[in-house]
Amino acid sequence: MIPMTKDMTTGSPVRRILAFCAPLLVGNLFQQFYNLADSILVGRILGVNAFAAVGSTGALNFLVLGFALGICSGFTIPIAQSFGAGDEAEVRRRAGQLIWLGVGFSALITLIAALWTGDILRITQTPEEIYDEAYRYIHIVFLGAGATILYNLASGVLRALGDSRTPLWFLMGAVSVNVALDVLFMKALGMGVEGAAYATVLSQALSGAACLLYIRACVPVLRLGREDVRPDARRLRLIAYIGVPMGLQFSITAVGSIMVQSAVNGLGTAAVAAVSASSKVHMLISAPLESCGVAMATYCGQNLGAKKLERIRGGVNAVTVMSFGYCLAALAFNYRFGSAVASFFIDSAETAILANVHRYLVINGMAYPMLAIIFIFRNGLQGMGFSQQAMGAGLAELAARALVAFGLVGRLGFLAVCCANPAAWLFADALLLALYHVELRALERRWSKEETRSAGRVGVSAARLHRV
């Protein structure tokens, strides 16, 4: 494989974004198809209770591993900014600090998850008939958090340099290994839900290690020296300043999801299975929107480093229009085929569950334009370094989901569950759109003042030289 680093500060914004986004989309879809295959294997091999048990951990999984994914994405944004500014030495110095941050946060997440997994499952009212399997599955996944961080940091650094193709190959390898290990552990060795968890952790670890070897051998700009890996308090603070709020953003959103999941658990195993199945289909259909968001983080980060605000605006506007067109097609798919996809892992005889799946997917599909705005504008703000401000969108989502979970599910039942995501997306959009315009105007004014001062200094120096 040849390194495919790309400067996204020149050329057509739409072409650059689409070229970067295409491998992300393939990888995301591949990951979602794997998730579907994993769910099918769990449901078909181990039964509906095991499927519900694994599904019931989704919000908790997102709380812990979502934080891990968030910090990994945030930690690589300063690298994208340095690359956009053309400072390769700073790229290496910032990349070197990721070693310390990755090790530290892996240990922290593993410790917290090991201590409190059972308590959180109890708080979220996980049904007794699936509690033991849910605990065994998610406990193993959390203990392997270091493998998740390893892969996502390594692939995130490559994406920060504009290379979205190479991480795709490692992702495809990880998914293929995961599926093979699923069959081996669950079916051949009879390991139950623990087998699915071990397969996930091992495949992530192998893919992360392979990604590191590739970087060392094939990406000269990331060949680190001793100076690069020496702990640097200033750079560590800068990277953590951007990365930690992004992790908290994911976790805050997950807390809201846990609230809703707790309310769903109170409706019984059938409701849990319906939401689990709906979520699998939703994640598949929303993958293109998510990929656009990831692309915008790198695009905005590099162009911020190059101080090209108009280019940022043009790219954001173009991707928003394209995403809205996709949302119409996604709604049509959910209406016509959503239940059919869900029937791969929910037996077609479960007509009541599949009816709720259809209702959930149609209601969420109608709100997809709001989801598109979240992905594009939140990732864009984070790519520009405004991760703390963007974290407010997570708080808005949390407020909306809490309102639905505590105020509406008891009265409206499953219909309220269907409306939880759209309500959260609406609350987040109101804040993100305002933040985006305010922060870009602030940057514009600040850079204009800097240019004026710089021009003044040049003028004074020229006058002095003229007198001499």
- Give residue limits of the domains in the chain: 13-455
- Residue 4 phi/psi, 5-degree rounding, is -120, 40
In whole angstroms, what is the distance from residue 197 CA to residue 190 CA?
13
In whole angstroms, what is the distance from residue 376 CA to residue 286 CA?
13
**Rounded (10°) CA dihedral 326, 327, 333, 338:** 130
C-beta contacts of 239-242 below 8 A and 24+ residues apart: 239/74, 239/75, 239/78, 239/94, 239/97, 239/98, 239/101, 240/75, 240/101, 241/387, 241/388, 242/74, 242/75, 242/77, 242/78, 242/382, 242/385, 242/387
What integer best gives the mean pLDDT of the chain? 84
Asked whether 376 and 77 are in contact (CB, 8 A), the reply is no
Residue 275 has what pLDDT? 87
Q: Is the pLDDT of residue 446 over 90?
A: no
Average pLDDT over residues 424-441: 93
pLDDT tens digits, 136-155: 888 888 888 889 899 889 98
Q: Is the pLDDT of residue 366 over 70?
A: yes
Q: Is the pLDDT of residue 286 over 50?
A: yes
Does 341 or 457 have the greater pLDDT score? 341
Average pLDDT over residues 120-133: 78
Distances (CA, A) of 56 to 62, 275, 276: 11, 9, 7
Band of pLDDT at residue 330, cut at 50, 70 and 90: very high
Which residue in the block uniquely carries the two structure tokens 């990349």?
95
Residue 465 has what pLDDT? 41
Band of pLDDT at residue 466, cut at 50, 70 and 90: very low
pLDDT tens digits, 230-264: 989 999 998 988 888 888 887 887 788 778 878 88
- Residue 164 phi/psi, 5-degree rounding, is -100, -5
